Amino acid sequence: MVTTPVLMGVVNVTPDSFSDGGRWLEADAAIAHGRELVAAGADIIDIGGESTRPGATRPLVTEELDRVVPVIGALVADGATVSVDTMRSEVAEAAISAGATIVNDVSGGLADPRMYAVVAGAGTTYVAMHWRAHADHMRDFAVYDGPGGVVTAVRDELAARVDAMLAAGIEGDRIVLDPGLGFAKRPEHNWALLRDLGPLQGLGFRLLVGASRKSFLGTLLASDGSPRPVGEREHANTALTVLLAQQGVWGLRVHDVRAAKDALRVLERLDQVEATQ
């Protein structure tokens, strides 16, 4: 039986995110988009105010706060389950105060040593991604030459993060791990991780995967040497939605919630047929 993963719909309240180029920068637009994602079937709305595309520069803390807090408050007031996508403890605190119940930290706590204390004190769910460096120079760290390659390295580095989280008082049932596709990883690293998630799942924690619209899909679908544009990668991501659901991941971070939801409904229906034979 396939366990249907939760769908985390992405709302980038930024001027320069790779996937939408600032379409949701204004609070009203971001709130409206979040509502659309909920209507399409998103279980969680993930709101971020900092672009983490390769080469991106960081906004000021005040800028990030101004971007995300009003959007979080409005969607929480609607009854949505909201996560905040941030590496900063100050932003996490403000987001939790506004009603966010999940902190999605792409740095896994490495960017801000105070993050674990904030999460432990608040009792929120914490998504810790595999991460090695900030966006402006993370490509320099895309080297996995040790035994077992990228899969073993990501597993071991996430295991170290888990030890630190537990030591800081974050309970194990509130920890979610993310392999960090595209972060300090070349396309071949992403494919290797997707091919072999077992060692990461073997750590014993829920797994969230975010492949949606990322550049390794554009590279795969390249025509005449040019990567497929961001907005034309959704069919490939839908295929991954099915495969990852079959592998038992807990959650999928997606941009097109409707496409992912449709794919999961097909899987659920097939599962029902098998169960009645």
Q: How many CB atoms lie within 10 A of CB 120?
A: 18
C-alpha–C-alpha distance, residues 22 and 52, integer Å: 13
Q: How many CB atoms lie within 10 A of CB 76?
A: 17
Mark whether 214 is an active-site residue: yes
- The contacts of residue 239 (CB under 8 Å, 6+ apart) are none
C-alpha–C-alpha distance, residues 158 and 152, integer Å: 10
Mark whether 253 is an active-site residue: yes
Strands (E) across 114-263 are located at: 125-129, 175-178, 206-209, 251-254
Catalytic residue among 88, 155, 185, 253: 253
The full DSSP string for 209-249 is: E--TT-HHHHHHT-BTTBPPPGGG-HHHHHHHHHHHHHTT-
C-alpha–C-alpha distance, residues 111 and 88, integer Å: 7
Catalytic residue among 214, 228, 233, 261: 214
C-alpha–C-alpha distance, residues 274 and 277, integer Å: 6
Q: Is 218 strand, coil or helix?
A: helix
**Which residue matches tokens 């544009």?**
229
**Which residue matches tokens 């998103």?**
42
Q: Which residues are catalytic?
A: 214, 253
